[in-house]
Chains A and B, each alone.
Chain A
Amino acid sequence: MAADTAKPGPMRSAAFRFALLLAAVFAIGAAALLVVVQQQIGRYATEATNGGLRAEMTVLEGEYAQLGQSGLLDAMARHAGGRPEAPYRYLLLDADGRRLFGDLPGTVTLNGWSTVEVTERAPENGQIRQENMTTLGARLPNGLALVVASDNYDVQMLRRRLGRFTLMSGLGITLFALLGGYLTGRLFLRRLARVNHAVDRIIDGDRGERLPMIGFGPEFDDLTHNLNRMLERNAAAMEALRQVTTDIAHDLRTPLSRLHQRLEQMQDSSVIEPAMVEDALAQTAGIFATFQALLRIGSLEGGVGRKWFTRFDLSELMDRIHQAYAPVAEDSGQRYLANHAQGVMVEGDAELLAQLFTNLIENAIVHTPVGSTITSSLSIDGGVLLVEVRDTGNGIPLAERANVFRRFYRLDASRNTEGSGLGLALVSAIATLHGAKISIVDSDVGLVVRATFPLSR
C-alpha cells in the first residue's frame, strides 16, 4: 500500500530545503557585508590618501621655506627617486607657468583638491594603463605653484581582492550548505524509511512491531517513544477487546444452552413444572446481569462518568455499607467490623463508589469460610485516602493476583461458582474513573484489597 506512494528524494526533503534557505540567507548576508566593507575601505583609503598628500605638502613647504627652491627640488627628486612605484608624483611651476619639476599634466588644478587622469606604467607588469590620481595644489611664496598627487591603485587592488574573496567564499559556503542539506536529507530519509517500513508492517497486521528510534536528537526519540506508547496502548486495547469478545461468547454460552435445554424440556413434556420455568427465568436473569455489568464497565471505561461527580461524605457511605452488610456477614457466620475515619469528604460518584465497596465486601462475605472476620477501614495517610477491605480467609495465590481484576476471571477455573466474574473488573473500572489505584496487598492472613485515592481536590 504505502510502497505505491511516491517517495520524496533527498532534494525534496525538509532538511535540504532548510539548507537551501540557510544558504540563501547566508548569501544575502555576505553580499550586504561586502557592500558595507567596500564602503568603509573606500572612505578609509580616501582619508589615508588625503592625509598623506597633506603631510607631503607640509614637508615640501617646509623644505622650500628653509632651503629655498633648490632644497625643494632636491627633496622632490629624493622622494620620487625615479621609481615607478614611488608614492607621490609632483608638478612645480614658476610664476610664469613654466614647468620646473614633475610629470603631472599641465591641466591639473593648481589650488586645492582635484582628481586627474594620468597614463601610468603598472608597477607589477609594466603595462600602460589609465589611472585616477588625487591631487593637492598650493601656492608657494615667489609665485611658485606646487601640486602633489597620489594614486589609489593599492586601494583598488584591495577592493578587488576583497570582492573576489567574498564571492568565492560565499559560493563555497553555499555549495557546502547545499551538499550538507542533501546529505542530511538523505540520512533523514533513510532513517525515516525504516520507520515507514515499520508502519507498513503494523498496517499489514504485525501488532508486535514497534517504530525504530530516528536518532539525531532527543526530540525525535521522544516522538518515537510516544508513538510506540500509543501503539502499546492500542495493542492492549485491541487485545482486551478480543479477550472480552471471546469471554462473552464463552460465558453466555453456558446459561444460554441451559435455557435452551429447559425450553426444549418444556416443549416435550405435557405438564410444565414451575421449577423448570423458575430455572429458565434464573438463567435469563444471569444473562441479563452479565450484560448489565459489561455495559456498566464499558460505559465507565469510555470515560463518561465524571459528569455526575459531586462532593459527598465518604465516611457516611462506608458506614451505610457497614450497617447494611454487618447482618449479612453475621447470618453467614462471619463478623464484619468497620474502622472508618469520620467526616471524610471526597469528590466522586457516590453511587459508583457504593458499588465498588459493596462489591469488595460481598466478595469477602461470599469467598471466606465461616468464622472469618472482615474489616473495612477508611483513613487518610500522607495526603492520600486509603480504603482497605481485609478478611481472614484463604487469600489469593500470588500468581493469580494480577488476573483477578480482569473481566470474567475466576479463581475457580471450572466457572461453577456463582457470579459473573465481573465484580472486580467493575471495581477496577470505577477506581480508574476516580483516579484511584486498586491493589492486592501482601498479608500474612487472608486477602487485603486496598484502594488509594488521590486527595487534594
Chain B
Amino acid sequence: MKILLLEDDEATRTHLERVLGAAGHVVDTCASGQDAIFLGSTGDHGVLILDRMVPGLDGLGALRALRAMGIRTPALFLTALNGVEDRVEGLEAGGDDYLAKPFAASELLARVNALARRPPIVEMRTVLCVEDLELDRMKRTVTRGGARIDLQAQELKLLEYLMLHAGEVVTRTMLLENVWSFHFDPKTNVIESHMSRLRAKVDRGFGRELIQTVRGAGYRIDGG
C-alpha cells in the first residue's frame, strides 16, 4: 500500500519509513504541510500519516485543505500532545485516528492497517463470521459451531471489535479506546483479564483457537 508520511524530524521520518517499508508499504515522505497537500492531492495513497506539529502549515491545516479538495483518504494524526482537545480538533479537521508520540512501531502498523482495510460496508454487516464463530450484531448473540455462547456485554463488545478487524492485529490501546472508551494507559492488565475470559468461552473446548496473541503487538482473530 502507498502511504503518505508528513514528519519534520528527519530521524523519526527515516525510522517510520523503514518500519512501514519493512511491512511492505511504499512511503512518500515530506516535511511540510504544503508538500503534503501537493503529494496527497493525487489521491492514490491508502493512508495519510500526518504529524500535527510541523513548521509552516501544520498537519491539521494540510488535512483540512485536502478534505476541502475532496480527498477522502483515511488519515492518522501523530502528535506529541495527548489531550481530549487535540483529539477532537484532529477529528474535526477530518482525521480518522490519532496516535500520541511516543508510540511503538507495532501500534502504528496496526492502526494504519485498520484504517486502510476499513471498508465502509463492514460496519453495516449485521452478522460477523470467523470460521464457525458467528456474532449477530442485532440480536447480540454469539454461536460457535451452532452452539450458543453466553458472553457478558463487554466481552461481546470486545469480540465484536476483534471480528470487525478479523485478520488484522488490534493493539491493547485500540481495544481500550474502542471497547471501553478509555483514552489512557492503565497500570493493570485490563485487556489480558478480559481476553482470557473471552478465550475461555470462545476457544476452550473447540479444536482451533481463533483468538491469537501477537507478541509485542496485540491480538488477532482469524481462521488462518
Contact = CB atoms under 8 A, between A and B. Distances in A.
Interface of A: 284-285, 288-289, 292, 295-296, 299, 304-305, 307-308, 320, 323-325, 327-328, 330-332, 349-352, 354-355, 358, 362, 365-366, 418-419, 423
B12 interface: no
Interface in B88-110: 88, 100, 102
A346 B88 CA distance: 21
Interface stretch (B22-30, B112-120, B182-190): B182-190
Contact of A289 (B81, B85, B180, B185): B185
A325 B190 contact: yes
A360 to B, nearest CB: 12
Contact of A327 (B81, B88, B102, B194): B194
A285 B197 CA distance: 28
Interface string B168-188: 000000000000111111111
A324 B182 contact: yes
B84 A308 contact: yes
Contacts of B141: none
Contacts of B188: 325, 328, 332, 362, 365-366
A330 B196 CA distance: 12
Interface of B: 81-85, 88, 100, 102, 152-154, 180-190, 192-194, 196-197
20 contacts: A292-B82, A292-B100, A295-B81, A296-B83, A305-B83, A324-B182, A324-B194, A325-B188, A327-B193, A327-B194, A328-B188, A328-B190, A350-B181, A352-B84, A355-B182, A355-B183, A358-B186, A362-B188, A366-B188, A419-B187
Contact of A308 (B85, B187, B189, B192): B85
A220 to B, nearest CB: 43
A354 B181 contact: yes
A385 B184 CA distance: 25
Contact of A320 (B180, B184, B196, B197): B180
A349 B194 contact: no
A178 B181 CA distance: 74
Nearest to A291: B102
A296 B196 CA distance: 32
A187 B219 CA distance: 80
A365 B189 CA distance: 11
A365 B193 CA distance: 13
Given A327-B194, A328-B190, A419-B187, A304 B85 contact: yes
The A contact surface, by secondary structure, is: helix
Given A285-B102, A331-B193, 5 more contacts: A320-B180, A324-B180, A324-B190, A328-B193, A358-B186
B6 to A, nearest CB: 22
Contacts of A352: 84
Nearest to B100: A292
A162 B175 CA distance: 99
A285 B189 CA distance: 16
Contacts of B152: 323
B102 A284 contact: yes
Contacts of B83: 296, 299, 305
Given A284-B102, A296-B83, A308 B88 contact: yes
Give the top 7 A-B pairs by smallest Cβ distance, nearest first: A327-B193, A328-B193, A308-B84, A362-B187, A355-B184, A328-B188, A331-B193
B85 to A, nearest CB: 6
Contacts of A351: 84, 181, 183-184
A22 to B, nearest CB: 57
Contacts of B197: 327
A341 to B, nearest CB: 20
A358 B189 CA distance: 12
Contacts of A299: 83
Given A304-B85, A358-B182, A323 B153 contact: yes
Nearest to A352: B84
B195 to A, nearest CB: 10
A330 B152 CA distance: 16
Contacts of B84: 305, 308, 349, 351-352
B181 A366 contact: no
A307 B187 CA distance: 28
Contacts of B102: 284-285, 288
A325 B84 CA distance: 23
A285 B152 CA distance: 33
A282 B182 CA distance: 22
Contacts of A296: 82-83
Contact of B182 (A284, A305, A330, A354): A354
B189 A366 contact: no
